[in-house]
Structure 1
Amino acid sequence: MAAKDFLFELGTEELPPKALLTLSNALQKEILAGIESALGKDAKALLKDSAVKSYAAPRRLAVLIESLATEVPASTFFMQGPPARIAYDADGNPTKALEGFARKCGTSVDQLEEQDGKLCFRQETAAKPLADALPAIIQNALDKLPIAKRMRWGASRAEFVRPVKWVVMMLGDEVIECEIMSLKAGRKTRGHRFHYNQEIELIAPADYATTLKERGYVLADFAERRELIRSQALAEAEKVGAEVVIDSGLLDEVTALNEWPVALLGRFEERFLDVPAQALISSMADHQKYFHLLNKEGELAPFFITISNIESKEPQQVIEGNEKVIRPRLADAAFFFETDKKTSLETRTEQLKKIVFQKDLGTVHEKTERIAKLAGLIAEKIGSDKGWAERAGLLCKADLVSDMVLEFPELQGLMGYHYATNDGEAEEVAKAQDEHYMPRFAGDQLPTTQTGMAVAIADRLDTLVGLFGINQPPTGSKDPFALRRATLGTLRIIVESGLDLDLRELLKIAADNHNDLPAREGLEEKVLDFMLERFRAWYEDAGISAEVFLAVLAVKPTSPLDFDKRVKAVNHFRSLSEAEALAAANKRVSNILSKQEVKGTPAVSESLLQDAAEQALAAELQNIQPGIEALFEAGDYQAALEKLSALRSSVDNFFEDVMVMADDEAVRNNRLALLSQLRSLFLGVADISILG
């Protein structure tokens, strides 16, 4: 079958930089899906030699498909219906079944044919040019793009994220005649807005990127522009013996802002280095999209790299212009910092009384009082300074009302640290101002001080019980207060920092700190279940099966650290040769005990042990129990399960030789008590039966 290169380009006003890559990827995906649907069952074979490339620049989205089949192949639709012998009644009229089959096929009874004793429908579809289907495929792809809010422009009824200025649609060297977004498709694209603001006629789709680059001063390939920016930035940094910090998010954003990127090195006054580095970095990155540089000591250097969208004949003028723009920005940061230092964090806490945390949960000031109280208790439990934790808790939100954080919200916590240090607070109290927000995202660092840990846990638990207590838990994908993230952060701090804390106990105290929660009854259990369930994804990411997690969850240990030890022990147990048989035995024991409604762990009477197999199992359980309980007490669950695995032979012999449900009630109950004792030992770690 013949194949030609296909090109679609949508030319627009400047697209939203943070959405550019998402739009580009979605456009390619939807166009391919539409083409595959049009080509039908032979799509994969027809597309196997087709290379697909998407392009994304500030004023254009494009997709190039090399060697695209030019025809939708001929096809035959065939469907069997009812047997011919029952398709008509005695008078020769079609039965309801036959009429229903015809309607289902979108045809009439007289169009059906008989084959192999059945009425059938056959429809032949001739081959047709793919070009006829491409306009609808493109329009459908554009309609499906993830655009939160579309706009209209001029008198057009078309809608898109930005006004559309031109459309290119070519199959081979021919234009596909159609109208997209109220514009007639053609072969003319446009060059750089400043370097070559003219139409460029495309001869062949394959020449698209090269033509734009060589004539139009446009690098349409997003990845090529990104790598060019990276290499240019590194080269500029070398000129001053510094290291440029290239944040991936910022790199993508400046790539999306520039069609013809040119990196330029600027500098700012060294006096601004007295301001906390992150404040300067935020000012440069967020407002100006500059990359910052570090000196050989890893400290902020008085330089920046900006990415210009033009290749200027006088680059120094461009640099000076950027230096002139950044100077007042940095001066503002310096002013905010010096002004903020004149008011202590303690004084600022009064302003928190006017800020509502949540309408049913009071003000931010009330929240800090609850955090302080809970943090002090946690500090005592982990052997830290209670006074520091309470002090840090009271101050932990005070920087929210500082001028610097109001201007740069992302600096909350960090500025609290600097202001607490300026106020003469204890170092741990100061560090906790920043650390109580850690981890801020998945994989982020954890608090390094015990005071920071205590406040971080207290802050999150207060929010969790508060929101659950007013019946606002996360639902589906909606989690406006990020309770799932708060839970994972809490679990990470406790487990990875080795803190022996009981969640149920802490949740009860946190809930009691709130006044009049409408859903107070059973609140700590609801939140505890929610938090423990977050472990599931944690362990899946670690390659631990869901069965291992569920086996531990079944016994519901309320200490996250203890929960983690059990999971790791059970995961190790699964690797033992005895594991499968013992898991199956536990499942059998569980079923037997549940049917007989055996509760607790009844005592075993030696005098009622009749068979050698049950006597051997009872003796082994009696011998092993003290050592197992000592291991439980020490939290060494792996060693405990290894010892319990030695029971396999005795357990196998018991089930092979002993009739549990004996006729003699006393003997039967004694054997059930023996099994209950066996199961109780395993339940000291987890419900191993779930592994069976």
Structure 2
Amino acid sequence: MPQLLIELFSEEIPARMQAQAARDLDRMARERLAAAGLEPSSLRTFAGPRRLTLVAEGLAAAQADRREERKGPRTSAPEAALEGFLRSTGLTRDQLVERDGVWFAELTATGRATPEVIAEIVPDIIRNFPWPKSMTWGTGTLRWVRPLRHVLCLFAGAPVSFEVDGVQTVDFAVGHRFMGSNRPFRVKSFASYRSGLEKRFVLLDAEERKLRILVEARHLCADRGLELVEDAGLLDEVAGLAEWPVPILGDMDPDYLALPPEVIRTSMRNHQKYFAVRDPATGRLAPHFVTVSNIAAPDGGAVIAAGNAKVLSARLSDARFFWDEDRKVTLESRLEKLKSVTFHARLGTLAERVERLEHLAGALSVRVGADPAKAALAARLCKADLTTGMVGEFPELQGLMGGYYALEEKLTPVTAEAIRDHYRPVGPSDEVPDRPVTMAVALAEKLDTLAAFFAINEKPTGSRDPYALRRAALGVIRILLNSEVRAPVRELVADWYRSLRCFVDPGRALYASTRRTTGYLGPRSRRDSEIFQTYVEEFEAALLEAEPMVVAI
């Protein structure tokens, strides 16, 4: 059966948008074809730096003829009702059929040719495509992620003609911007389209591009006795940056290896899109990197590697500056700055939150078998690294850098580990803290997040969870399930509430009841016990609705 081929060719599409764009194209095409009565036997979409492609197999050459019987008014109904029914059907009274005292209209519609339907569907998809960000260009009004240059649309090997705000349909495609000379070639089918692109240095399938990057990068490293540090997220991104990916192994200044390895990898990954390389003999990072070029350079990439090494050196010089400067100030002395950082408008500053964490970690340490003094110290210092230059440059290193700075200050490894891991687990595949002090601080961090935001009625809903409360609840679940600790929600909330009362004054206490939207609860309020009981019940009910497993623990 006939094949439908569509290519939406534009300027460079951001790599982070490509995978979702392919899914959106698949969904929109299926919905519109189904609504038109055209069901493909198979449909695939592809996304790359400059093109979105769809190929659908098994489409009928035309819509099937449709026959519909529509029930009308009774034969005894007023004349006005019959006239309205005739107008809605476009028939005359002589064309109606009477059965059992009721008028029926028999409607038939001849199916249109599939190219006619496609000429309506594709422009509709283009005009309504849900890009996260889009733009207009020239004098047109069409919005697209980047300027849309042309639309290839073929059905059964023949062009389908239409226009979308001045963008014309064509029957050709173009290859790589540089290596393929950007010259067009005629397309008759998906097979000729795909092979033609590959001959012109364009790999259509993102999975093929990722496989090519991995295989060649591993070979480059193996030839030098090295090992690639694989990163699935980075691989997805670089596969969206190059139509013809060519991995290149570069060298970096070995002096930068004195930095924490996470700093080096984060700088490589976030700023330069490089893969790190390790020495398999030691398991440590090696003074090399792998970058992915979009061209096969005549010199094997030597000039590209040298240029990328210079840029990386500049980035790592900044990181070394932050590392050296941050270590001149102790974590304890940084706590004063937290007083000027707002955690939430209704929950106070980060300094106030740290007070809650310190008291709560001390209370929870009894439950997990931790030293209360060590747990309280780690909780007091766990947010101090938020004021460092390194975390300001690399926010994803918060907690981790605090652990490094704690070791530099000769604090105990137990304290440093608790500071480093108090955010964990941050996802389903992340490690779960299993040491008592770290468990106490991690539980305190998550419990304070849950209880405080529930207290001000910022609960997660089915469509939004801006404060990641479900993730915090799941973190509590995983920490408790991973250990022999059992702590009912009612008791955990009581720990949080008691720790809150240890230091707040009536003028700045948190809301203690989700029912109260005005007024504060002071530590010595006459209604203290009543409001706390109500709060715990509402918190438990809301949490049960959001994450049923929490209450069961």
CA–CA separation in structure 2 for the residues paired with 1:228 and 1:331: 32
- Percent identical across equivalent pairs? 35
| 2:542 corresponds to | 530
CA–CA separation in structure 2 for the residues paired with 1:32 and 1:487: 37
1:340 deviates by 1.0
1:198 deviates by 2.7
| 2:293 corresponds to | 308
| SS state at 1:76 partner | strand
| SS state at 2:289 partner | strand
Q: Is the aligned partner of 1:163 residue 2:147?
A: yes
1:55 deviates by 2.2
Cα 1:498–1:535, aligned 2, differ >3 Å: closer, same or farther?
Answer: farther
| 1:471 corresponds to | 457
1:122 deviates by 1.4
| 2:246 corresponds to | 262
Alignment of 1:583-622 (within 5 A): none
Q: Is the aligned partner of 1:318 residue 2:304?
A: yes
| 1:451 corresponds to | 437
Q: Is the aligned partner of 1:37 residue 2:22?
A: no
| 1:123 corresponds to | 107
Partner of residue 517 from structure 1, selected from 510, 514, 521: 510
CA–CA separation in structure 2 for the residues paired with 1:210 and 1:187: 15
- RMSD, aligned α-carbons: 2.1
| SS state at 2:479 partner | helix
Unpaired runs of 5+ in structure 2? Answer: 514-530
Of structures 1 and 2, the larger Rg is shown by 1
1:105 deviates by 4.2
1:326 deviates by 0.8
Q: Which residue identity does 2:141 align to in structure 1?
A: R
CA offsets 1:498-535 (integer angstroms, 9 cap, x no match): 21324323312323406433343222222223334455
CA offsets 1:449-474 (integer angstroms, 9 cap, x no match): 21111111111222222222222222
Cα 1:532–1:114, aligned 2, differ >3 Å: closer, same or farther?
Answer: closer
| SS state at 2:3 partner | strand
Cα 1:211–1:491, aligned 2, differ >3 Å: closer, same or farther?
Answer: same
1:115 deviates by 5.3
1:230 deviates by 1.5
1:354 deviates by 0.9
Q: Which runs of 4+ in 1 moved over 6 A?
A: none
CA offsets 1:98-136 (integer angstroms, 9 cap, x no match): 455445546554542335764221122223211011122
| SS state at 1:468 partner | helix
Cα 1:462–1:67, aligned 2, differ >3 Å: closer, same or farther?
Answer: closer
| SS state at 1:133 partner | helix
Alignment of 1:155-194 (within 5 A): 155-194=139-178
Q: Is the aligned partner of 1:246 residue 2:225?
A: no
Partner of residue 12 from structure 1, selected from 6, 10, 13: 10
Alignment of 1:209-224 (within 5 A): 209-214=194-199, 216-224=200-208
Cα 1:242–1:383, aligned 2, differ >3 Å: closer, same or farther?
Answer: same
1:327 deviates by 1.0
| SS state at 2:2 partner | strand
Whether the 8 Å CA contact 2:364–2:495 is kept in 1: the answer is no
Q: Is the aligned partner of 1:208 residue 2:193?
A: yes
| SS state at 2:263 partner | helix
Partner of residue 62 from structure 1, selected from 53, 61, 65: 53
| 1:74 corresponds to | 65
| 1:425 corresponds to | 411
Q: Which moved more, 1:388-397 or 1:233-242?
A: 233-242
Cα 1:80–1:533, aligned 2, differ >3 Å: closer, same or farther?
Answer: closer
Q: Is the aligned partner of 1:27 residue 2:25?
A: yes
Partner of residue 298 from structure 1, selected from 270, 283, 288: 283
Unpaired runs of 5+ in structure 1? Answer: 539-558, 565-692
- Which structure carries more helix by proportion? 1
Cα 1:312–1:234, aligned 2, differ >3 Å: closer, same or farther?
Answer: same
| 1:688 corresponds to | none
CA offsets 1:164-218 (integer angstroms, 9 cap, x no match): 112111123321111034211111222211112433132302211111111x221
CA offsets 1:521-580 (integer angstroms, 9 cap, x no match): 2222222233344554x6xxxxxxxxxxxxxxxxxxxx96xx35xxxxxxxxxxxxxxxx
Q: Which moved more, 1:195-204 or 1:483-492?
A: 195-204
Q: How many residues align?
A: 524
Partner of residue 53 from structure 1, selected from 37, 44, 49: 44
Q: Which residue identity does 2:75 align to in structure 1?
A: A
| 1:605 corresponds to | none
| 1:271 corresponds to | 255
Whether the 8 Å CA contact 2:385–2:391 is kept in 1: the answer is yes
| SS state at 1:128 partner | coil
Q: Which residue identity does 1:466 align to in structure 2?
A: A
